Structure 1
Amino acid sequence: MDLIDRIKEISARIPKQNAHIQTEEATKNAFVMPFISALGYDVFNPLEVVPEYTADIGQKKGEKVDYAIKKDDKIIILIECKWSGAALDVSHMSQLHRYFHVTEARFAILTNGINYQFYSDIDEPNKMDSKPFFEFNMLDFDDHQINELKKFAKSTFSLDDILNTASTLKYTRAIKKILEEELHAPSEPFVRLFASQSYDGRITQQVMEQFTVIVKNAINQFINERLNERLKSALVANNADAQPAQQQNTASAETSDVVTTQEEIDAYNIVKAILREIIDVKRVHIRDAKSYCAILLDDNNRKPICRLHLDYKQKYLTLFENKNEMRVDIDSIDDIFKHADRLKAVIKEYGG
């Protein structure tokens, strides 16, 4: 079984088990040990995984870090665990900082069994950085992150390979966080950058206030337009691939009067955003028809998630429960978020 399959298997168990995890030890047993095992390390072999690793640090005697992973009889990774319900913060890093300084490990992981924060000594040799260079969330990951995680697997572990990309990952992550914050609440320097290049007059406080709103809306529109362009391209490609060559002319004639509107695409993106928490959104497909726009699981007509009826004076959704259809009126596509639990329940009915 490949790493991604092992990780997906653990990920699928977390929502079902997490409510029953009340302690740090339970978190280790249910989530962390399977994660270490997925990377190829034998959690029951003390030559590879040392639980409750102890080292004397100055005046502190007998302090322990939860796991030390070894390769070729050298410690390569330290792992400090917290309860799955705990939010990881600076207060949880003190032991890792101390152990990092006195061991040969170049990597340390702080985790609550769901979120894994990877640290190294990029900023100052032999001193653990205050910020992680890589973060992996068991409930929200993509192919790129899986590829980065593979570098820590027993079979592919290479200190040089990881260190060569660690600084890039760290600063890329920091820049992405800055962009996220700027998109949510643009700072004055960020707004001034755009205002100075697009406004000819004197930039007063009133102009800055006006541009703060304009910049935020413009960037969000730009992102949505790019996403929708990619989505339209993907839909065209999927439709072409799904139809045998000899049927394409007929199919084109039959669907020439079916137009997937921008509102339907935006609604489709909302459904995907809701379902991202429980499934891989690549399994969520859109299929338009004359009277409604269907959103399907695995592009299977027998697995409808919902139907969008947006070309009517009164917009509405068709939701499914125990294979029964239910009409739900909505004022705008934003109201789809109100029915998130019902959409997730449909996925569970299909077995996730």
Structure 2
Amino acid sequence: MDFIDQLRALATRIASTKDLIQTEEATKNAMVMPFIQALGYNVFDPLEVTPELVADVGMKKGEKVDYAILSAGKPILLFECKKSGAELNVNHASQLFRYFHVTEARFGVLTNGIRYQFFTDLEQPNKMDEKPFLEFNILDFKDQEVDELKKFAKASFDVDTILVTANDLKYTRIIQNQLAEWMVNPSEDFVRLVAADHLAGKRFTPAVKEQFTAITKRAFQRLIGDRINDRLRVAMAPEHAAEAAPSTPEAAQQGPADPATDMAAITTTLEEIEGFHIVRAILRDLVSAKRIVMRDAQSYCAILLDDNNRKPICRLRFNNTARLVIGLMDDKNEERVSLADLDDIYKHADFLRKTVQGYL
């Protein structure tokens, strides 16, 4: 089983049992140990994975870290665990900070069994940074994050490679957070920068600032929306450009449509994308998220199991954003239900699950 498939299997198990896990010890056994094992380390070999490794730290005697991954008898990766659902912040990593200082390990992990925060010493040598350079959520991860996580696996672990990556990830995170902030609340300096070539010597008055601030925010939103649409169009073309069968007798009589024309007329909205991810979240404990596929068309956005027209899960009829409608599929018959907002999709979780279970 590939690494990513192991993570998906673990995610499915954790999603269905996390509410039953109430203690730190249960979190370690049911969540953290399987995670470490997925990285390729033998959790039953104390020469490779040592629980509660003890060290004296200054005046403190018998300090323990929950798990230490060893190589040639020396710690390379430290784990500090909190119970499932516990908040993770720098105040909860005191033991990890102290132990990091007195061992040769260059990486520390703070986790509650669902979220994993990876730390190193980019700011000051041999002193753990206060901010993680990588965060991984076992219940919500992207393929790119798996690629970064895989560098900690036993088969590919290399300190120098990870440190280079850590430095890049640190600044990528900082810039990403800054851009995210500017999308919502662009700073005056940023607005001045993007407006400079368009003012033609005009003064940057409060009125001009207000105008270009609003324009900058709209430009960000449209840029992201266009990029999402472009990626979805590429993903759906050419084999996904049109539906496999016409939906009405009239459509069948008209003959096959021109795929290029159809694609040009399709606009995948942000509401459809968000609705798709809500449906995926509802069904994640039943099937792998990658089996839930969105296929957009002019009149509605279909959500299918295994990208199969014969396995429709629901239809998102969001083209008129003033009236959101979901089509629930009952033995291929569609029942259209109005939604007050996207969160109303969760009210139909049982029906969506039943539909998918019928295909399984």
State TM-score, norm by structure 2.
0.84
For residues 95-134 of structure 1, the aligned pairs below 5 Å read 95-134=95-134
Equivalence for 2:226: 225
Q: Hey, what does 1:247 align to over in structure 2?
A: none
Query: What is the correspondence of 1:82-101 to structure 2 with a 5 Å cutoff?
Result: 82-101=82-101
Tell me the residue number matched to 2:248.
none
- Whether contact under 8 Å (2:76, 2:104) holds in the other structure is yes
Deviates more, 1:256-265 or 1:63-72: 256-265
Q: Distance in 2 between matches of 1:252 and 1:144?
A: 44
Secondary structure of the 1:239 match is: coil
The residue correspondences of 1:287-306 to structure 2 (distance < 5 A) are 288=297, 292-306=300-314
Compute the TM-score of the two structures, normalised by the length of structure 1: 0.86
Determine the C-alpha separation between the residues in 2 that align with 1:346 and 1:138: 23
Q: Is the 8 A contact 1:264 1:308 kept in 2?
A: no
Q: Deviations over 1:241-274 (max 9, x none)?
A: 999xxxxxx9995123984645555443122332
Matching of residues 243-322 of structure 1 within 5 Å: 253-256=255-258, 259=262, 261-277=265-281, 278=284, 280=289, 283-286=292-295, 288=297, 292-309=300-317, 316-320=325-329
Report SS of the residue matched to 2:129.
coil
Q: Please state how far the C-alpha of 1:314 moved relative to its aligned partner.
A: 6.7
User: Which residue identity lines up with residue 303 of structure 1 in the other structure?
Assistant: K
Provide the residue aligned with 2:158 in structure 1. Answer: 158
The alpha-carbon deviation at position 48 of structure 1 amounts to: 0.8
User: 1:321, 1:83 → 2: CA distance?
Assistant: 41
SS in 2 for 1:124: coil
Deviation per CA, 1:126-159, whole angstroms, max 9, x where unpaired? 1111111111111122222212111111122112
Distance 1:138 1:322, change over 3 A: farther
| Range with greater deviation from structure 2 (74-83 or 299-308) | 299-308
1-side partners of 2:59 and 2:331: how far apart? Answer: 63
Letter aligned with residue 339 of structure 1: I
Matched residue SS, 1:67: strand
Q: Deviations over 1:147-201 (max 9, x none)?
A: 2111111122112221232211221122212222222332332223223333342
Determine the C-alpha separation between the residues in 1 that align with 2:174 and 2:350. Answer: 32
- The one-letter amino acid of 1:207's match is V
In the alignment, structure 1 residue 326 sits paired with structure 2 residue 335: yes
Find the aligned partners of 1:296 and 1:55 in 2 and give their Cα distance. Answer: 54
Question: 1:323 & 1:240 partners in 2: Cα distance?
Answer: 21
Q: Secondary structure at the residue paired with 2:156?
A: coil
CA drift of 1:341 comes to: 4.5
Give the letter aligned to residue 345 of structure 2.
H
For 2:253 and 2:130, how far apart are their aligned partners in 1?
58
User: Is 1:339 matched with 2:348?
Assistant: no
- For 2:333 and 2:19, the matched residues in 1 are separated by 29
User: Which residue identity does 1:255 align to in structure 2?
Assistant: A
Mapped partners of 2:324, 2:58: distance in 1: 68
Q: Quick one: structure 1 residues 64 and 186, their matched pair in 2 at CA, closer, same or farther if it must change by over 3 Å?
A: same
Which amino acid in 2 is paired with 1:271?
G
Q: Per the alignment, do residues 98 and 330 of structure 1 end up closer, same or farther by CA in structure 2, a change over 3 Å counting?
A: closer
The 3 A distance-change label for structure 1 pair 294 and 341 is same
Within a 5 Å distance, the mapping from 1:128-147 to structure 2 comes to 128-147=128-147
Range that drifts further, 317-326 or 42-51: 317-326
The code of the aligned residue for 2:100 comes to: F
- 1:337 offset after TM fit, Å? 3.8
Q: Which runs of 5+ in 2 are unaligned?
A: 245-251
- Distance across 2 between alignment mates of 1:216 and 1:288: 29
**DSSP-derived class of the 2:130 partner:** coil
| Native 8 Å contact 1:270 1:337 kept in 2 | no
Q: For 2:237, what is the secondary structure of its paired residue?
A: helix
Which segments of 5 or more consecutive residues in structure 1 lack a partner in the other structure?
Answer: 244-249
| Cα separation, partners in 2 of 1:210 and 1:302, compared to 1, 3 Å | same
Alpha-carbon offset, residue 81 of structure 1: 0.6
Whether 1:350 and 2:347 are equivalent positions in the alignment is: no
Q: Secondary structure at the match of 1:123?
A: coil
2:307 partner letter: D
Query: 2: distance between equivalents of 1:314 and 1:120?
Result: 49
Question: In structure 1, the residue corresponding to 2:124 is in which secondary structure?
Answer: coil
Identity %: 50
What is the CA RMSD across the aligned residues, in angstroms? 3.0
Question: Conserved in 1, the CA contact under 8 Å of 2:280 and 2:292?
Answer: no
**Match in the other structure for 1:237:** 238
| Counterparts of 1:86 and 1:321, CA distance in 2 | 40
Q: Is the CA contact 1:151–1:162 (under 8 Å) kept in the aligned structure 2?
A: yes
* Whole-angstrom CA distance in 2 between matches of 1:326 and 1:272: 18
CA distance in 2, matches of 1:55, 1:214: 57
Q: How far is the alpha carbon of 1:342 from its aligned partner?
A: 2.3
